[in-house]
């Protein structure tokens, strides 16, 4: 087990990299509550894009700060490793930005503007690099569960009035 104040050893670095690569989401806490973020592992760090129209919010993550990253198991969903990250913002158009965005665009699902999304990211979004500093595989006492963050998104709507009749009619045809 690694103490959170020690720098990454080679085995911890390998654990952080493999766990983060294989996880579809990472939980990132900057100055506010932790948020689930989609990401890509590239060049020894996790990269995220957001804060633009139609992209994930990145509140509490600022260049020059640190963030706590928690990685879950893809199959069981349990916490595998937590690591402290140094946050840096990549300048649009730089070689590092281009390389990261090249990886990110392959992972972005359902982009409203297709191939033009990289230009939108350069104009409207921030691309952040989360470089691992320290890691911990110790499990905390108690649950880390938190209530969902407030959102305007909704998935529940009233059932359309004609739907029950349509469903009943399908069952009688068979």
Q: CB-based burial of residue 172 (10 Å sphere; 0-12 exposed, 13-18 middle, 19+ buried)?
A: exposed
pLDDT tens figures, 56-83 = 999 899 999 999 999 988 787 788 899 9
62-79 burial, b at 16+ Cβ within 10 Å, e below that, comes to beeebbbbbbbeeeeeeb
Read off the pTM. 0.79
| Contact between 7 and 132 (Cβ < 8 Å) | no
The pLDDT of residue 1 is: 38
pLDDT digits (tens, 9 = 90+) for 94-123: 999 999 999 999 998 888 888 889 999 999
What order of strands is seen across the sheet that includes strand 126-136?
35-38, 25-29, 66-72, 79-89, 126-136, 45-50, 40-42
Q: What distance lies between CA 67 and its chain's CA centroid? A: 13
Helix axes 95-107 and 117-124, enclosed angle (nearest 10): 130
DSSP code, position 112: T
Q: What is the pLDDT of residues 121-155, one digit of tens each?
A: 999 999 999 999 988 877 777 777 778 777 777 77
- In words, the CATH class of domain 10-173 is mainly beta
DSSP state of 174: -
Q: Cβ-count burial of 43 within 10 angstroms (0-12 exposed, 13-18 middle, 19+ buried)?
A: exposed
């Amino acid at each position: 087990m690694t103490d959170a104040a020690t720098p990454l050893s080679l085995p911890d670095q390998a654990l952080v990299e493999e766990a983060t690569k294989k996880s579809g989401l990472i939980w990132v806490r900057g100055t506010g509550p932790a948020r689930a973020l989609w990401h890509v592992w590239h060049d020894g760090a996790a990269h995220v894009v957001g804060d633009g129209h139609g992209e994930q919010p990145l509140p509490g993550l600022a260049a020059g700060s640190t963030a706590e990253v928690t990685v879950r198991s893809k199959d069981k969903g349990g916490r595998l490793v937590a690591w402290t990250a140094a946050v840096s913002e990549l300048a649009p158009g730089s070689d590092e930005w281009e390389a990261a965005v090249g990886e990110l665009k392959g992972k972005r699902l359902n982009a409203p503007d297709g191939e033009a999304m990289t230009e939108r990211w350069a104009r409207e979004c921030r691309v952040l690099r989360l470089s691992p500093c320290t890691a911990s595989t110790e499990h905390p006492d108690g649950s880390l569960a938190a209530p969902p963050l407030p959102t305007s998104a909704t998935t529940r709507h009233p059932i359309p009035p004609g739907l029950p009749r349509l469903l009943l009619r399908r069952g009688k045809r068979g």
